[in-house]
Amino acid sequence: MAGENGAQIDGAQIIVNALKLNDIDTLFGVVGIPITDLARLAQKEGIRYIGFRHEQNAGNAAAISGYMTGKPGICLTVSAPGFLNGMVALANATTNGFPMILISGSSDRAIVDLQRGDYEELDQMNAAKPYAKAAYRVNRAEDLGLGLARAIRTAVSGRPGGVYLDLPADVLAATLDAQLAEKSLIKVVDPAPRQIPAPDAVERALKLLAGARRPLIVIGKGAAYSRAEDSIREFVEKTGIPFLPMSMGKGVVPDTHPQCAAAARSLVLGQADVVLLLGARLNWLLGHGKSPEWAADGKIIQVDVHAAEMDSNRGVAAPVVADIGSAMEAFLAGLPSAGIAPQQEWLQTISAKIDTNRAKMAKHLAATPQPLDFYAAYNAVRSVISDNKELYIVSEGANTLDFGRNLIDMHLPRRRLDVGTWGVMGIGMGYSIGAAVTSGQQVLAIEGDSAFGFSGMEIETIARYKLPVTILIFNNGGIYRGDNVNLSGGADPSPTTLEVAHYDQMMQAVGGLGFHVETQEELAAALKEALASGKPALINCVIDPHAGTESGHLTNLNPQSTVSHT
């Protein structure tokens, strides 16, 4: 049946209609051949388009938007090199469990497949497969709606992740009868269905917790993503079990809660006899669950939506395969008969260790060195951040990240956005833009000077869209620290040396607010002014080049020579 008056629409219009049908209201990307008109059309049709300076940053924005909303963030790129730039973010999204779809235009299949030398020739779908949850290519205009539907469902179902969707230029340009095109669209229904835990798995887990003398709950970013914070807090308080939040799990239960054991991390991991993992994986961030960081004879209860995650590094005594929300509902329903009671001796041991560690920390925070070190710089802004609990905090760097994780309390879930499972640098500006666009709220990006350099040009994007993003750079003039020397005695700087650059002037150059600060008083005042303005702002905070350690807290992962580096 022909459309009204034989009306035809092209593939670009079909994919835009499919996006709108599935309530996709924002695209992040970099335009060029062959997707420029697709971006223009999407904007014309009411979909917000945020244009970046580099595809990796656009992809990171899409990924963090997916984490925040639970629906896939969309990144749009050109073919070949643009696609490859976006692939870094796609792989990071998959590793972190963030729902994201990378949509890239691609070259003529008939030429690419025979390697005849087309413009930006690359077999993008097969290149993406190892780094994505799935990769699809649409070869006919009538399958565009189907392709997007499959990508959406795959991105958010089970463990979320990145999906690649390849749209060849000739498919975007192909025409189809308007009515047939409309019928080809698919509205995805219940793309992430609940995964209910087996009753015997729940019973096994609760029985193990009831017999524990030194129980612990570890809260990961999977728990934050699940939006189960109310039931998790209820379970924590009803059982009296102490909890340890992972970096992006901070705020699911407030860091200031009396049962938070973050200040006694080594003790609780090393002595817990039963550990309940909620959306946390036993990867390098938790020492792979192995001794000596963990008690060798401890028992593990693991709640994860992905069954293959169980026994990844050590045996799991009580696996619970379920989404976190459904698992917590089942745990709470079983609590009245479980007989779980607070272990007072265990709680007192933790409390004593927390008091000791906080006293040590207080001495560091009380110091007022000049130039500033990381403790002094963070101490200058802690109260400002505490007065702005709704802030989204983006953080990356080595020492900047590590100190911030320990010194900045989070009160709300999904407000701390950092390097996550891969520990990669370069997420800062992409995450900041994604968070500001998605939430409409203020974002504070706390960056090491090295980390900022990976995506720093996106300050122009922040200024262009007038986003409420404040960037705070702890600038010690180096990767890890700024005092290393060229061991050859030559004139070139050492491999880890950077300039103590005036990044504040970069922000001023694109129309934002720039601050150069060197004291605690200047730093606190600048942060208050920047946040109060609601405008794009950058605070360049100069700190001691001797401040910081090689690789931050990951010195054990960075083999060192016996030759002194300083």
Question: For 534-566, what is each residue's pLDDT tens digit?
Answer: 999 999 999 999 998 887 777 777 666 444 443
Between CA 229 and CA 238, with CA 235 as vertex, the angle to 5 degrees is 135
Which residues on adjacent β-strands are paired with residue 562?
Answer: none
Tokens standing for 91?
């792989």
Q: Per-residue pLDDT tens for 370-394?
A: 999 999 999 999 999 999 999 999 9
3-state secondary structure of 254: coil
Burial class (CB in 10 A: 0-12, 13-18, 19+), 258: exposed
CA distance 166 to 498: 39
Contacts of residue 41, defined as CB under 8 A and 6 or more positions apart, other chains included, come to 12, 13, 16
- Tell me, what's the pLDDT at 515? 98
The pLDDT score that the predictor gives to residue 118 is 86
Instruction: Tell me what pLDDT residue 550 has.
Output: 84
Helix (H, G, I), strand (E, B) or coil at 162: strand
CA distances 401 to 41, 192, 305, 475, 503, Å, are 40, 32, 28, 13, 19
**Interacting residues of 496 by C-beta distance below 8 A, sequence separation 6+:** 478, 479, 480, 481, 482, 484, 565
Phi, psi of 149 (to 5 degrees): -60, -45
Q: Work out the burial of residue 524: count CB atoms within 10 Å of its CB; fewer than 13 is exposed, 13-18 middle, 19 or more buried.
A: middle
What was the pLDDT predicted at 520?
97
Q: Determine the Cα–Cα distance for residues 368 and 376; give it in Å rounded to an integer.
A: 6
The residue count of the chain comes to 566
pLDDT of the residue at 560: 60
List the end-to-end C-alpha distance of the chain, in Å, as a whole number.
77
Q: Is 501 exposed, middle or buried (0-12, 13-18, 19+ CB in 10 A)?
A: middle
Average predicted confidence (pLDDT) for the chain = 95
For residue 39 the two structure tokens come to 């971006």
DSSP lists the bridge partners of residue 419 as none
Beta carbons within 8 Å of 398's beta carbon, 6+ residues apart: 448, 450, 451, 479, 480, 548, 549, 551, 552, 554
Compute the distance between CA of residue 399 and CA of residue 397 in angstroms, rounded to an integer.
6
Distance, in Å, from the CA atom of 346 to the CA atom of 6, rounded to the nearest integer, reads 76
- Contact between residue 445 and residue 432 where contact means Cβ atoms under 8 Å apart: yes
Which of the residues in the chain have pLDDT under 70?
Answer: 1-5, 558-566
Q: What DSSP assignment string belongs to 45-105?
A: TT-EEEE-SSHHHHHHHHHHHHHHHSS-EEEEE-STHHHHHHHHHHHHHHHHT--EEEEEE
Domains and CATH numbers, the chain: 4-184 (3.40.50.970), 199-351 (3.40.50.1220), 367-557 (3.40.50.970)
The predicted pLDDT at position 551 comes to 77
pLDDT on residue 6:
77
Task: Quickly tell me which residue has 């997007």 as its tokens.
Answer: 148
Report yes or no on whether pTM surpasses 0.85: yes
State how far the Cα of 97 lies from the Cα of 89, in Å rounded to an integer: 12
